[in-house]
């Protein structure tokens, strides 16, 4: 499997004689999870994946039918538009426990519960402090890209129904973390509606998990790169953290029933296994992870037009940090972390800073600057690469369009957090690896 992963990822980056010299490749769209693709699996795998796909399709139909019934009952010609905003902003997770028992927290919690989809998840980019969802109001706002062009990877199958239940932009997991804090702060009677919504949300996460342990960006499935195993925006990692908390049943998760704890623990074990299987192999050794991996082949795949199939530094740092949080890391987890840390050290950029300007970002010499990493690295060479809205892939950020240079974080310091965590982790757990 690892050899297939590397080969599949590199095909999209092969230079073409017909392309200008500044372009080193073109991104290829990620494949949707389909009946036709599942038909090529072994009989045992085929059964599990077909059941998963059928469950997704049924849930999508049910979600849409429920909203359509509301719209009709309200006498509307179409769904009402919900207020937009960054969903997580209205749900603080760092307040004192008593704040979550107060009037403001309960007001927000009521709004959060009202926007929970029939499936049990939430959309993104909602203002969850404005008002409870009205009858016939859509569960998702306008999440369409302003830059859509023919063949764009971000074009939804249905513009009126996208991101209705997602892990993108911290959606669903933030709502569940917030609700858990409210439940923990209230008496059982007062907590009842929030507890029920939380448990529905956990059921949503369990239903959305792929048979191989990963999670898509959007569920019920929406097609394209949304169907891929998604490390981008912490989708997989934050889901695992939430479920791990529920499985432990400690602190704010003490209310979680034993049966749900057991299911959550099994989901976490499958999720960790998926992380280990998706770690990319290059030149005979393990490296890090991509933003997205194909659900069936585990190969790195492209996301949006400007997000190529590549080694991804920021997402990989978050994956490595999560693995170091596991209480009893086995040899495979230790090896995965060690390999990722070695890769971060190898690819760090020293003596330069990423400067922002009217035309976008650029690297410039800077004495004593902290280490930086490019967002994406080419598999096989570990050289930084940069995508653009026309799907072109470049080896210098200055070659991309001004719009993309201004609108994307092409360099960042996130892997340093993994290196810092590793120093503490290796010192604390040196006994689990005698070679240290």
| CA dist., res. 27 & res. 375, Å (int) | 16
User: What does the angle CA 421 – CA 344 – CA 14 come to, to the nearest 5 degrees?
Assistant: 150
- pLDDT for position 356: 86
Q: Which of 12-26, 134-148, 212-226, 313-327 is predicted least confidently?
A: 12-26
**For residue 265, what are its two tokens?**
């623990």
Q: What is the rounded average pLDDT of the residues 146-156?
A: 93
Catalytic residue among 200, 304, 404, 405: 304
Tens digits of residue pLDDT in 66-78: 999 999 999 999 9
Q: Which residue has the higher pLDDT, 399 or 2?
A: 399
Contacts of 222 by beta carbon, 8 Å cutoff, 6+ apart: 156, 157, 162, 163
Q: Considering the domain delimited by 1-30+289-436, tell me its CATH architecture.
A: Alpha/alpha barrel (1.50)
**For residue 423, what are its two tokens?**
């120093």
- pLDDT for position 162: 95
127 is a catalytic site residue: no
The 10 Å Cβ neighbour count of residue 223 is 17
Tens digits of residue pLDDT in 326-367: 999 999 999 999 999 999 999 999 999 999 888 888 899 999
Edge-to-edge strand list for the sheet holding 229-230? 229-230, 292-293, 300-301
Phi, then psi, of 176 in degrees rounded to 5: -70, -40
Tens digits of residue pLDDT in 41-86: 999 899 999 999 999 999 999 999 999 999 999 999 999 999 999 8
Q: Is residue 96 left, alpha or beta, with left meaning phi > 0 and alpha meaning psi from -120 to 50?
A: beta
Domain boundaries, the chain: 1-30+289-436, 33-227
pTM for this entry: 0.93
- pLDDT for position 428: 79
Catalytic residue among 125, 162, 169, 232: 169
Q: Same topology for domains 1-30+289-436 and 33-227, yes or no? A: yes
pLDDT tier for residue 87 given thresholds of 50, 70 and 90: confident
pLDDT tier for residue 430 given thresholds of 50, 70 and 90: low
Tens digits of residue pLDDT in 235-277: 999 999 999 999 999 999 999 999 999 999 999 999 999 999 9
Q: What is the DSSP letter of 409?
A: -
| CATH class of residue range 33-227 | mainly alpha
304 is a catalytic site residue: yes
By C-alpha distance, which of 249, 99, 250 is closest to 178? Answer: 99
Give one DSSP letter per residue of 34-99, joined into a string: -HHHHTTS-HHHHHHHHHHHHHHHHHHHHHHHHHHHHHHHTT-SSPBPPPBS-GGGGS-SSS-GGG
Q: Name the 3-class secondary structure at 394.
A: strand
- pLDDT for position 429: 63
Percent of the chain whose predicted confidence (pLDDT) is above 70: 93
| CA dist., res. 30 & res. 8, Å (int) | 11
**For residue 162, what are its two tokens?**
């996208």
- pLDDT for position 348: 98
């Amino acid at each position: 499997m690892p050899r297939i992963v590397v080969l599949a990822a590199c095909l999209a980056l092969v230079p073409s004689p017909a392309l200008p010299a500044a372009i080193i490749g073109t991104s290829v769209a990620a494949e949707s999870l389909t009946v036709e693709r599942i038909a090529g699996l072994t009989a045992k795998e085929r059964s599990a994946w077909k059941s998963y796909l059928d469950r997704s399709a049924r849930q999508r139909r049910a979600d849409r039918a429920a909203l359509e019934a509301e719209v009709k009952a309200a006498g509307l010609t179409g769904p009402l538009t919900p207020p937009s905003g960054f969903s997580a902003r209205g749900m603080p997770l760092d307040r004192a426990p008593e704040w979550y028992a107060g009037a403001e927290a309960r007001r927000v919690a009521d709004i959060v519960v009202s926007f929970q989809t029939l499936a049990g998840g939430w959309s993104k980019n909602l203002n969850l402090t404005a008002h409870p969802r009205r009858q016939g109001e859509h569960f998702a706002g306008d999440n369409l890209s302003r830059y859509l062009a023919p063949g764009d990877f971000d074009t939804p199958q249905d513009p009126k129904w996208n991101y209705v239940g997602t892990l993108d932009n911290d959606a669903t997991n933030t709502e569940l973390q917030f609700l858990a804090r409210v439940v923990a702060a209230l008496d059982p009677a007062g907590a009842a509606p929030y507890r029920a919504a939380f448990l529905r949300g956990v059921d949503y996460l369990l239903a959305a998990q792929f048979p191989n342990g990963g999670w898509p960006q959007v569920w019920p499935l929406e097609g394209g790169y949304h169907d891929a195993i998604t490390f981008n925006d912490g989708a997989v990692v934050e889901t695992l953290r939430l479920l791990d908390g529920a499985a432990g049943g400690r602190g704010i998760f003490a209310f979680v029933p034993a049966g749900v704890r057991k299911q959550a623990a099994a989901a976490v074990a499958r999720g960790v296994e998926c992380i280990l299987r998706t770690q990319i192999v290059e030149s005979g050794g393990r490296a890090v992870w991509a933003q997205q991996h194909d659900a069936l082949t585990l190969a790195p795949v492209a996301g949006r037009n400007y997000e190529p199939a590549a080694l991804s530094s920021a997402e990989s740092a978050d994956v490595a940090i999560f693995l170091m949080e596991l209480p009893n890391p086995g040899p495979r987890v230790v090896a995965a972390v060690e390999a990722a840390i070695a890769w971060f050290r190898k690819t760090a950029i020293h003596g330069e800073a990423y400067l922002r300007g009217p035309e976008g970002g650029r690297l410039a010499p800077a004495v004593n600057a902290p280490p930086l990493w490019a967002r994406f690295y080419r598999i096989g060479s570990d050289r930084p690469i940069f995508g653009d809205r026309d799907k072109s892939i470049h080896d210098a950020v200055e070659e991309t369009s001004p719009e993309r240079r201004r609108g994307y974080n092409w360099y960042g310091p996130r892997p340093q957090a993994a290196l810092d965590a590793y120093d503490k982790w290796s010192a604390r757990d040196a006994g689990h690896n005698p070679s240290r």
